[in-house]
């Protein structure tokens, strides 16, 4: 596994990003801007599921409106995040917060596009309010793990 | 009048040194500051995109502002408190950092823009509440807000980089001027 991370960092792209004094800062800034957008898109839906925020709208309406913002900012997050990773893959390999983040991210994406999507975006029988609240809490917890883990990568090493 | 003497005094206070040197408090405060972006800037982005007719188009504008504003204010309060604490931990370097200065100026512009929006076109929101294509001043406010917050987020992140720090001489004269560098007073 380590050798894979090593060859990623020593790849042409990895070295180019690592040797540039500006690239990391610029990519990281875009990553942060997308964080604000994805945060808003996740929060507005999860808050609605908890009965907060835009509660006069139906869950489906809020979720449908937030979906494009969510998908686009997720794409930007993944692309910029991958670039950041490539530039310091070996550090990430030894970083506990990195693995926490990746595990949370995999679970968050899986959960969002299966359970949460089914409960918020489909016309199936609507889930009970208690179930919707549970879905919101799981979603918030997983995405919080992604965000907090991400911030903590920078503090270690 | 320079605030440098005040910042140098602040840096010598016990609380500032404690926060600066703490193993967990500083990173914790910084993490809360960064993650609250999602609440505060995230909600602002949704409001701005509504003003631009890009999202939440079936929701009345007044409802978006009414329902989301309390959350934005709560988020901003957290941003402000944690932001002040981050400055308190590293006052002199922050004060003499061009990104920090850019961030504060842009914050003021964002504040004026929000005030102008609420005192201006938003007072007549009943006239255009359901419009997907909102009046021009509302769209302008949305674009300016998005631009300001983007600058604030990016410059906030850039404060961490020391490219233009006063103790990284030589710097271009313009950098020293903008950063307010005073020889021998960089900490």
Three-class DSSP labels, A102-121? HHHHHHHHHHHHHHHHHHHH
Domain, as residue range, for A22: 2-153
Q: Are A64 and A114 in contact (CB under 8 A)?
A: no
Count of structural domains, chain A: 1
Q: Are B62 and B125 in contact (CB under 8 A)?
A: yes
Closest-CA residue of A relative to B24 is A155
* Average pLDDT of chain B, as a whole number: 94
Q: How far apart are CA B83 and CA B29, in angstroms?
A: 8
pLDDT tens track for A57-67: 999 999 999 99
- pLDDT of res. B56: 95
- pLDDT of res. B183: 76
| Rounded percentage of chain B residues whose pLDDT exceeds 70 | 98
Q: How far apart are CA A135 and CA B38, in angstroms?
A: 19
Q: How far is CA B71 from the centre of its chain?
A: 16
- pLDDT of res. A123: 72
pLDDT tens track for B105-151: 999 999 999 999 999 999 999 999 999 999 999 999 999 999 999 99
A147 and chain B in contact, CB less than 8 A: yes
The DSSP code sequence of B88-112 is: HHSHHHHHT-HHHHHHHHHHHHHHH
DSSP A100: H
- pLDDT of res. B185: 75
pLDDT tens track for A30-47: 999 999 999 999 999 999
- pLDDT of res. B1: 61
Q: How far apart are CA A132 and CA A55, in angstroms?
A: 13
Cα-Cα-Cα-Cα torsion B36, B148, B150, B72, nearest 10 degrees, comes to 20
Average of per-residue pLDDT across A133-137: 97
Average of per-residue pLDDT across B95-102: 96
User: Using CB atoms and an 8 Å cut-off, which of residues 42-81 of chain A contact chain B?
Assistant: 42-44, 47, 52-57, 61-62, 65-66, 68-69
Token pair 């997050």 is at which residue? A77
Cis peptide before B170 (omega within 30 of 0): yes
Q: What angle do CA A122, A123, A129 make, to 5 degrees?
A: 85
Query: Are B68 and A55 within 8 A, CB to CB?
Result: no
pLDDT tens track for A67-101: 999 999 999 999 999 999 999 999 999 999 999 99
Average of per-residue pLDDT across B139-167: 95
| Rounded percentage of chain A residues whose pLDDT exceeds 90 | 90
Considering the entire predicted model, what is its pTM?
A: 0.94
The total number of residues shown for chain A amounts to 157
- pLDDT of res. A122: 78
pLDDT tens track for A12-27: 999 999 999 899 999 9
pLDDT tens track for B30-53: 999 999 999 999 999 999 999 999
In the structure encoding, which two tokens stand for residue B132, read together? 């997907």
């Amino acid at each position: 596994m380590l050798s894979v991370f090593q060859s990623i960092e020593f790849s042409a792209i990895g070295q180019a990003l690592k040797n540039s004094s500006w690239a990391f800062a610029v990519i990281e800034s875009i990553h942060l801007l997308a964080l604000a957008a994805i945060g808003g898109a996740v929060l507005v839906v999860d808050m609605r599921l908890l009965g907060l925020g835009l509660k006069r709208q139906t869950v489906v309406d809020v979720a449908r409106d937030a979906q494009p913002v969510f998908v686009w900012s997720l794409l930007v997050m993944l692309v910029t995040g991958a670039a950041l990773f490539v530039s310091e893959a070996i550090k990430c390999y030894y970083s506990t917060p990195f693995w926490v983040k990746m595990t949370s991210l995999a679970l968050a994406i899986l959960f969002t596009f299966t359970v949460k999507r089914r409960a918020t975006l489909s016309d199936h029988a609507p889930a009970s309010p208690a179930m919707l609240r549970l879905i919101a809490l799981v979603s918030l917890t997983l995405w919080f793990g992604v965000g907090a883990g991400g911030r903590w990568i920078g503090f270690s090493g | 009048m320079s605030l440098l003497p005040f910042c140098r005094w602040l840096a010598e206070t016990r609380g500032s040194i404690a926060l600066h040197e703490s193993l967990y408090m500083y990173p914790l405060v910084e993490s809360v500051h960064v993650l609250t972006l999602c609440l505060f800037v995230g909600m602002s982005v949704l409001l701005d995109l509504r003003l631009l007719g890009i999202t939440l188009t079936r929701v009345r504008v007044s409802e978006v502002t009414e329902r989301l504003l309390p959350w934005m204010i709560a988020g901003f309060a957290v941003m402000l408190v944690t932001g002040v604490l981050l400055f308190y931990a590293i006052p002199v370097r922050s004060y003499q950092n061009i990104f920090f200065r850019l961030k504060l100026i842009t914050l003021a512009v964002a504040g004026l823009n929000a005030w102008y929006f609420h005192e201006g076109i938003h007072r007549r929101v009943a006239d255009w509440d359901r419009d997907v294509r909102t009046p021009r001043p509302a769209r302008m406010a949305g674009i300016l807000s998005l631009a300001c917050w983007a600058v604030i987020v990016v410059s906030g992140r850039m404060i961490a980089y020391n490219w233009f720090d006063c103790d990284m001489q030589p710097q271009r004269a313009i950098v020293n001027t903008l950063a307010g560098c005073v020889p021998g007073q960089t900490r």
